[in-house]
Amino acid sequence: MFAVFLLVTVAVTAIALIMTKSQRTEKRRQQLMTRPFPKAWRQILKRRLPYFHALPTDLQLQLKKLIQFFIDEKQFVGCDGFNITDEVRVTIAAQACLLLLNRKTNFYPKLKQILVYPYAFIVEKNNTDFAGVSSNERNVLLGESWGNGKIILSWKSTLDGAAAPFDGQNVVIHEFAHQLDQENGNANGAPPLKEFTDYATWSATLGREFKALQYCAQHQLPSLFNYYGATNPAEFFAVISETFFEKPLAFYQQHQLLYKELSQFYQLDPINWH
């Protein structure tokens, strides 16, 4: 009996703590709603984010508020001696929050930290082959999204992606698309959709297009999408998200049904922004 009572008490306490944290977060957000967007941050957007000025006015206002929430709630950590400044925070947050526009969101709820390296970084992974032989592999990366609440970014690649908003390549959009994908478990190319019935069309459309990209990659045929998207469904979703935001017209013209799926997911139609 005592053990049951103890379990119930612990469960009730845990629920209370979660509610308290949620209430604090909501109160904090309500306070931020009344605060103006800092002038210094506006200058950073003007200097670093040419994409921002392509947005309709209502989305510009929405994005600025999302940036404020994001910076308030996420921790930025400099690596290899890199110094975190407001320029770093705003430049990353502005690109990450593009994926949240017009969507009911809890601001990447699993994400706690953004680790920023000055340049590309090396990640060591232990791999086991089909024969059971283990080996260490060193990969040079520009960005990586982890399921344990962290994203790693190269600052140089972040700046390059922000400065060239129409080339179809953006490391921040790519890694934060992975975060959306990871909200309901491991990244698998199927992020949480609005309705359960949406998954059938999503799976059929993305599955067909994924196979088409694999074929293009295998035979070195031209494709609007980076061949890296042929690696697996998770990378495919991240790659097409980059293209959706940065090359929407070509995307729509060449892959209309796939564009429709992403437009419905992101609740955006970026064709008119460019």
| Same domain assignment for residues 192 and 89 | no
Query: What average pLDDT does the segment 1-10 reach?
Result: 48
Q: How much is the pLDDT for 144?
A: 86
CATH code of the domain covering residue 236: 3.40.390.10
Its domain, for residue 223, covers 188-274
Provide the CB-side half-sphere exposure for 220 (13 A, CA): 0
- Please tell me the distance from the alpha carbon of residue 239 to that of residue 230, in angstroms, as a whole number: 9
User: Is residue 109 situated within a structural domain?
Assistant: yes
User: Is residue 81 situated within a structural domain?
Assistant: yes
Q: How much is the pLDDT for 35?
A: 87
For residue 7, pLDDT beyond 50: no
- Please tell me the distance from the alpha carbon of residue 119 to that of residue 141, in angstroms, as a whole number: 9
User: How would residue 46 be classed by pLDDT, with cut points 50, 70 and 90?
Assistant: very high
For residue 97, pLDDT beyond 70: yes
User: How would residue 120 be classed by pLDDT, with cut points 50, 70 and 90?
Assistant: confident
Closest CA to 263 of 102, 105, 145, 108: 102
User: How would residue 134 be classed by pLDDT, with cut points 50, 70 and 90?
Assistant: low
- Please tell me the distance from the alpha carbon of residue 100 to that of residue 64, in angstroms, as a whole number: 12
| Same domain assignment for residues 97 and 216 | no
CA angle 182–163–144, rounded 5-degree value? 25
User: Is residue 4 situated within a structural domain?
Assistant: no
Closest CA to 50 of 60, 65, 38: 60
Q: How much is the pLDDT for 16?
A: 55
CATH code of the domain covering residue 39: 1.10.472.150
Instruction: Give the total number of structural domains in the chain.
Output: 2
| Same domain assignment for residues 53 and 92 | yes
Q: Are 212 and 225 in contact (CB under 8 A)?
A: no
For residue 88, pLDDT beyond 70: yes
Query: What average pLDDT does the segment 146-165 reach?
Result: 92
User: How would residue 13 be classed by pLDDT, with cut points 50, 70 and 90?
Assistant: low
Instruction: Note the pTM of the prediction, 2 decimals.
Output: 0.85
